[in-house]
Amino acid sequence: MGTPEKEAPRTVIPPRGGLMHVVDAAGYSLAGLRRLWAETAARLEIAGAVAVILAFLWRGVEPWHWLVAGALAGLVLATEAINTAIEVLTDRISPEWSQTAKDAKDLGSLAVGLMLLVFGGFFTLVMTRLI
């Protein structure tokens, strides 16, 4: 039986300025996207957005419907990313069960659920031609 591997200590690198700051920020965003893709919920939300695209193509909706749906899909994924960040941090600072940790995770989940309800409501209104 081997000994558990320890993670090598990491140092915090100070942020760079100017254009390199933008390049670094883009890299951090891509890393976040890769991490978000590891979440089943995010993959399901992306699959749902693809289903909306197909339904909109079938129905032949107005251009503004596409814009609103795109914005709502982006907000759903942004909310999912924040929820995932809350869960990761909560697990890190409170590995044992606590009511506070549960509340934090439940509130993050509520935020995602509310965004999904808004997107689903908009989708329903568009598909039934109420808007």
Domain-wise residue ranges, the chain: 63-131
39 an active-site residue?
A: no
pLDDT at residue 9 in the model: 82
In order, the DSSP letters of 64-85 are HHHHHHHHHHHHHHHHHHHHHH
In order, the DSSP letters of 90-121 are HHHH--S--HHHHHHHHHHHHHHHHHHHHHHH
Average pLDDT value for the chain: 95
CATH of 63-131 given 3.40.50.280, 3.30.1330.180, 3.40.640.10, 1.10.287.3610: 1.10.287.3610
The one catalytic residue in 5, 7, 80, 87 is 80
CA 107, CA 119: separation in Å to the nearest integer? Answer: 19
pLDDT at residue 103 in the model: 98
Task: Give yes or no for a contact between 49 and 71, defined as CB atoms under 8 angstroms apart.
Answer: no
- pLDDT tops 90 at residue 108: yes
Nearest to 84 by CA among 121, 127, 40: 40
- At 29-74, the pLDDT tens digits run 999 999 999 999 999 999 999 999 999 999 999 999 999 999 999 9
